[in-house]
Amino acid sequence: MFELELTPGELSLPDLKRVLAQAVRITLSPACLPGIEAAAQTVADVMAQGRTVYGINTGFGLLANTRIEADELETLQRSIVLSHAAGIGELLPEPIVRLLMVLKINSLARGYSGVRLQVIESLITLLEKEVYPCIPAKGSVGASGDLAPLAHMSAPLLGEGEVSHAGERLSAAQGLEIAGLRPLVLAPKEGLALLNGTQVSTALAVEGLLRAENALAAATVIGALTVEAARGSRTPFDGRIHAARGHRAQIDMATAYRHLLDHSQIEESHRDCRKVQDPYSLRCQPQVMGACLQQLRAAAEVILVEANAVSDNPLVFVAEGDIISGGNFHAEPIAMAADNIALAIAEIGALSERRMALLIDSQLSGLPAFLVDNGGVNSGFMIAQVTGAALASENKSLAHPASVDSLPTSANQEDHVSMATFAARRLGEMNDNTSGILAIEWLAACQGLDFLAPLCSSARLEQARSALREQVPFYDKDRYFAPDIEKAMGLVNDGALLPLLHKGCRLSN
């Protein structure tokens, strides 16, 4: 568990990465406390004045014009949480739940939501005690916020629903007892403030982004290994080529390849060969991977803004005493960012699969067919490439933009929705697929390099080869292949190759 002093609105990408990785104990910056209290008091003042304000003393959605009497307001806030907890499917993983809770705390503590400090502190306590609400993954269209999943997040505060703790699934009542809390009675606006917001979509997008960055790093290193194994040319990585085009991300990726390839015995061994050009999957890596990096950079900017945003409704503006209804809960920015990440993930995998196909083709690579001796008796990497092709094809379907879809909800009051939650959630499956493709290429590239022994690659690429060979030996004859892929995937997913990526290509340092 790590300590995080939260200044609302100032979370960084490294902060978010750390929350995904381990439990967190949050301390609110004292500077934010007066703003929280003032916003809650503004809501109380509106009630005292008898004003009718959406979300405070009215119904919700299509029922927004229905005024709720004072003696029913407590029931109103409880009812919205319970009725909206309508998600289905597998539960979101604990790291995602932990992150979305941090994002919700960050948003509420900005002082525009009108909730009491007690509500925020209850969420902080659940986090500290590692009591995580059980949240079904499906049921949000990403407009009016992530209503269903955030209702499942909020229900345990009321003593309803289920939680997980230390690997066990418990009732909310048991979870509150572990955390030393009593069920909350929500004040006006608090139920709506908890349910409105894009925190679930954003948490899923953060994870998808960080895993995509890891895939980009692995693909860059593994792609450089393939250049060496296929005795490809270094000329396409010349900085002058990329400066002439001018795309910053492409220039940075070309630098990363030069950083990895450097000089090697393998390079010297074919310096005077007759080959004029390599296939695109080798020589156009800076262009394709640069385009992917550009998408990830743009998405990271959007996602970080949203991670620090106030996205519930209505919002409380203390200075003017105004409570204004708008639409910050509409998650279109996250939906589009996630769609762009999906394109990058798909292309990273697609290019990797093509490089791997090149390696097993003896006419293109100059290596033994299917990267194995005694071909015919041994099939080598033949079906591993088929697996890579299957995964790349799946990603093409999954990359279809979710944000272009919309189905009206709430009796057409919510007549355009973002589908951001699915847009971000599907990134997990896409990253899994691309990790598998990269693992197969990594195995193939190292196999190819081993056939070039005793020649060595560059120092950095030899580190990458050694990291794999510590787990997976040379494929001398056919053996049960799946464990090799599983071990290589584990290394990819653990970020074993990320430190080898040039710092200029990382989203945060």
Task: Report how far apart the first and last C-alpha atoms of the chain are (Å, whole number).
Answer: 22
Q: What is the pLDDT of residue 61?
A: 65
54 assigned to active site:
yes
Residue type, 47: M
DSSP output for 47-105:
HHHT---TTTSB--GGGTT-B--GGGHHHHHHHHHHHH---EEEEPPHHHHHHHHHHHH
Cα–Cα distance, 312 to 325 (Å, whole number): 9
Question: What's residue 144's pLDDT?
Answer: 83
Tell me what pLDDT residue 509 has.
Answer: 58
Q: Evaluate whether 127 touches 35 at the Cβ level (below 8 Å).
A: no
Q: pTM (2 decimals)?
A: 0.96
Which ranges constitute the DSSP H helices of 308-419? Answer: 332-360, 362-365, 382-398
Q: What is the pLDDT of residue 186?
A: 95
Task: Provide the token pair at 50.
Answer: 């008898």
Residue identified by tokens 């809650």 is: 40
Nearest to 330 by CA among 142, 102, 174: 142
Handedness of CA 296, 403, 17, 429 (dihedral sign): negative
pLDDT score for 143 = 86
For the record, the structure tokens of 255 come out as 């630098």
Six-digit token pair at 140?
């949000």
CA distance 109 to 146: 19
Q: How confident is the model at residue 275, as a pLDDT? A: 76
pLDDT at residue 483, as a whole number: 98
Residues 6+ apart with CB under 8 A from 280: 354
Which residues make Cβ contacts (< 8 Å) with residue 276, sequence separation at least 6? none
> Residue 164 pairs with which residues in a beta bridge?
132, 169
Residue 311: name the closest of 334, 328, 331, 335 by CA.
328
pLDDT tens for the 509 residues of the chain, in order = 999 999 999 999 999 999 999 999 999 999 999 999 999 999 999 888 888 888 788 877 666 677 888 778 888 899 999 999 999 999 999 999 999 999 999 999 999 999 999 999 999 999 999 999 999 999 999 988 899 999 999 999 999 999 999 999 999 999 999 999 999 999 999 999 999 999 999 999 999 999 999 999 999 999 999 999 999 999 999 999 999 999 999 999 999 999 999 889 998 888 877 777 899 999 999 999 999 999 999 999 999 999 999 999 999 999 999 999 999 999 999 999 999 999 999 999 999 999 999 999 999 999 999 999 999 999 999 999 999 999 999 999 999 999 998 888 776 677 788 999 999 999 999 999 999 999 999 999 999 999 999 999 999 999 999 999 999 999 999 999 999 999 999 999 999 999 999 989 988 75
Q: DSSP assignment of 437-460, as one string?
A: HHHHHHHHHHHHHHHTTT----HH
- Number of other residues whose CB lies within 10 A of the CB of residue 86: 13
Taking alpha carbons only, the member of 155, 174, 151, 154 closest to residue 164 is 174
User: In degrees, to the nearest 5, what angle opens at C-alpha 109 toward C-alphas 107 and 111?
Assistant: 95
* Segment holding 295, helix H or strand E: helix 285-307
| 277 within 8 A of 180, measured Cβ to Cβ | no
Of the candidates 120, 108, 130, 102, the residue with the CA atom closest to the CA atom of residue 12 = 102
- Which is it for strands 2-6 and 24-28: parallel, antiparallel or unpaired? parallel
